Structure 1
Amino acid sequence: MPSDTSPAASALPLIDIRGLRSADPAAQRAVADQLRQACLEHGFFYITHHGIDPALIDQVFAASQRFFDLGLDDKLAVDKRLSPCNRGYEPLKAQTLETGAPPDLKESFYIGAEVPADDPRVRAGRFNTGPNQWPATLPDFAPVMNRYYAAALDLGETLVRGLALSLDLPPAHFDAYLDDPSATLRLLHYPPQPANPQPGEKGCGAHTDFGGITLLLQDAAGGLQVWDTRQQCWIDAPPVPGAFVVNIGDLFARWTNDRYVSTLHRVINVSGRERYSVPFFFTGNLQHPVACLPTCLAPGETPKYPVVTVEEHQIACYRRTYG
């Protein structure tokens, strides 16, 4: 585990992704080149002009705060442990992302695609597939989250096609992976960091994300830090108005033979107030095989990892975190 140092000034790139939606191949390529550089160096970057309505983002944060303001009994009525597909509320200190550290000082709520219990995919036991749980006392909660889920899914698909270009592949290379994609929307609430925390205690322990890519909204409190391998220190990833933070997950790193890096990150809420964030974990088609991409092997080089399906990869990652 990297040692704690004073965070350096943020050096994460800011990328305007409008060109990915352009019909001009040169405009698409210009964005793809920036994505490639960011993924090779940091695995983290900001995106602007993402196309998601700021009013919808405001509604998501407001609905999230209303949920976490509920009494514990109301939140536990939709406890994630009641769901066979990992949907619903996860209490404070339920997850430990950093090995050897105390449990994380956060509570959360998990949302996925709405799939009825009698759907063949659910009956087949597809991982993280099934119906959501919704708080009965907040009637506007589900509509807001479903609208945002659809918008974030569309943005994730746009970025994955941009990543294909960045890897010198056709934009449609990942279309089978994007067919019937799995994703998880997670609402997070961090109380202020205690004045006298346990050794190593923090809002979210150092970890890498499991899936393909993560799209993160964060409020003004800050607290996200990213490990900079070159400088060997933590760098801040402060909120940038109107921007998402995006990072490469373990799945995409594996796919690129670790050319694109899945980077350690953590959260320490030293703002003195409540912190809210909204990561969207884009996973992709669960049955899609993940084999080293042809453009990510130098002559004579062999893949570091065996072929797995997206689902097999996700199950292995969850087992590491939750035992």
Structure 2
Amino acid sequence: MPPRDPNTEQIIDFVVNKRNGIKGLVSTGVESVPELYILPVEERLGPNKISTNDSIPVIDVSDWDDPRVTESICEAAGKWGFFQIINHGVPLEVLDAVKEAAHRFFGLPNEERGKYWAGNSPTDTVALKTSFVPQAETVFEWKDYLSFRCSPRDLESFPLWPPVCRDEVVKYLESAKPVIRKLLEVLLKGLKVKEIDKAKEYTLMASPILNLMYYPRCPNPDLTAGVRPHSDISTITILLQDENGGLYVRATDEDSWIHVPPVKGALVINMGDILQIMSNDRYKSIEHRVVANGSKDRVSEPIFVNPGADATFGPLPEVLESGEQPLYKEVAFSDYFKYFFSKKHDGKKTMDFARV
């Protein structure tokens, strides 16, 4: 292994310890990607790895009761693990407002943003972070993100959230809740679950997390990653992309990646590990990644729909009632969550934690 760039420790100190993030580093006028952010050659997303033959479905959900909508969603969840939805009912002005709010927050001076840095924030329900898990990574991701815990109890700390974006975050979350509920009802119906009672609601959707993701313009975007390949540990994830794109999904052939193009007003939906486990592999949580952008600052806003912290999950009884063997054991979400955030993004290896 070649010797490490002597500037690396200084960059870690500036970006992480001094709470400037990658935004602060870019603001100093860096003209090339520091070694700390450069991916090994084999991990970079070159043109030869991008599939031009596949695309994930775009589903019109204006009529949730249409059996074809149910069929399309469940089929996409099983085959692709990803799909986009249009005519979902979240107003376009709400979507535009939360994207603008993300730009406003990351446009604040470093010292203002730094007030919300993880471990320094006035409340643990909102935290500014950089990369993914810097203490566990040898290569950093080209991103900062502001993370909001959004359970009903967490929302009580709303007055302590950043004034430049808190109203828009809550409006986006509240507008998305009926869509989340409908999606989970459809997906569970596909697993022969008749209704989402209070217990299942807690296991499926009690602790959402909403992130404002920020990917600043990158001088050498081909060398680095906005997010390295991983699957989400959520039940499902609802993602709002901006017009600059950058999301890629692992193709079914495993050897290539499919670009998910931005569609005006659409929400990108993906299955998380939790739902793959609960469905005993009927639904798939698929690896995805985000590329850096060489010309513009990019934002996106995912809502990670998570179980309650002390919820346990495993294959659903309805899935196993025909005698099918469970592929996963019962796991506490808090343990799964802690394990995921103890290491770098590493594909789908987190799921080994729950395998029988």
Conserved 8 A contact 2:133-2:343: no
From 33, 49, 52, the equivalent of 1:6 is 49
Query: Is 1:52 matched up with 2:78?
Result: no
Shift of 1:304: 1.6
Shift of 1:143: 1.6
Instruction: Report the equivalent of 1:107.
Output: 144
Conserved 8 A contact 1:19-1:30: no
Query: Is 1:30 matched up with 2:68?
Result: yes
Give the TM-score of the pair, scaled to structure 1. Answer: 0.82
From 235, 238, 246, the equivalent of 2:269 is 246
CA distance in 2 between partners of 1:213 and 1:49 (Å): 19
Instruction: Report the equivalent of 2:201.
Output: 178
From 252, 277, 288, the equivalent of 1:265 is 288
CA distance in 1 between partners of 2:274 and 2:72 (Å): 21
- Structure 1 residues 260 and 308: alpha-carbon distance in aligned structure 2, compared to 1, 3 A threshold: same
- Structure 1 residues 263 and 196: alpha-carbon distance in aligned structure 2, compared to 1, 3 A threshold: closer
CA distance in 2 between partners of 1:96 and 1:258 (Å): 31
Shift of 1:71: 1.1
Q: Letter of the aligned partner of 1:208 in structure 2?
A: S
CA distance in 2 between partners of 1:303 and 1:47 (Å): 31
Q: CA RMSD in A?
A: 2.8
Shift of 1:94: 5.2
Instruction: Report the equivalent of 1:290.
Output: 313
Per-residue CA distance 1:218-253 (angstroms, 9 max, x = gap): 111111100013262011001011211100011111
CA distance in 1 between partners of 2:207 and 2:101 (Å): 23
Instruction: Report the equivalent of 1:215.
Output: 238
Gaps spanning 5+ residues in structure 1: where?
A: 117-127
- Structure 1 residues 228 and 240: alpha-carbon distance in aligned structure 2, compared to 1, 3 A threshold: same
CA distance in 2 between partners of 1:242 and 1:187 (Å): 17
Shift of 1:105: 0.2
Instruction: Report the equivalent of 2:215.
Output: 190
Instruction: Report the equivalent of 1:125.
Output: none
- Structure 1 residues 258 and 217: alpha-carbon distance in aligned structure 2, compared to 1, 3 A threshold: same
- Structure 1 residues 196 and 248: alpha-carbon distance in aligned structure 2, compared to 1, 3 A threshold: closer
- Structure 1 residues 66 and 281: alpha-carbon distance in aligned structure 2, compared to 1, 3 A threshold: same
SS at match of 2:338: helix
Structure 1 residues 76-95: aligned runs within 5 Å: 76-83=114-121, 85=124, 87-91=126-130, 93=131, 95=133
- Structure 1 residues 174 and 46: alpha-carbon distance in aligned structure 2, compared to 1, 3 A threshold: farther
CA distance in 2 between partners of 1:82 and 1:130 (Å): 19
From 284, 306, 311, the equivalent of 2:334 is 311
- Structure 1 residues 295 and 286: alpha-carbon distance in aligned structure 2, compared to 1, 3 A threshold: same
Instruction: Report the equivalent of 2:157.
Output: 131
- Structure 1 residues 146 and 86: alpha-carbon distance in aligned structure 2, compared to 1, 3 A threshold: closer
Query: Is 1:16 matched up with 2:38?
Result: no
CA distance in 2 between partners of 1:159 and 1:207 (Å): 22
CA distance in 2 between partners of 1:296 and 1:319 (Å): 31
- Structure 1 residues 3 and 191: alpha-carbon distance in aligned structure 2, compared to 1, 3 A threshold: closer
CA distance in 1 between partners of 2:337 and 2:110 (Å): 30
Q: Letter of the aligned partner of 1:11 in structure 2?
A: S
% identical aligned pairs = 27
Gaps spanning 5+ residues in structure 2: where?
A: 1-41, 346-356
Query: Is 1:63 matched up with 2:96?
Result: no
Conserved 8 A contact 2:237-2:304: yes
Q: Letter of the aligned partner of 2:72 in structure 1?
A: Q
Shift of 1:320: 3.4
Alignment coverage as a number of residue pairs: 297
SS at match of 2:119: helix
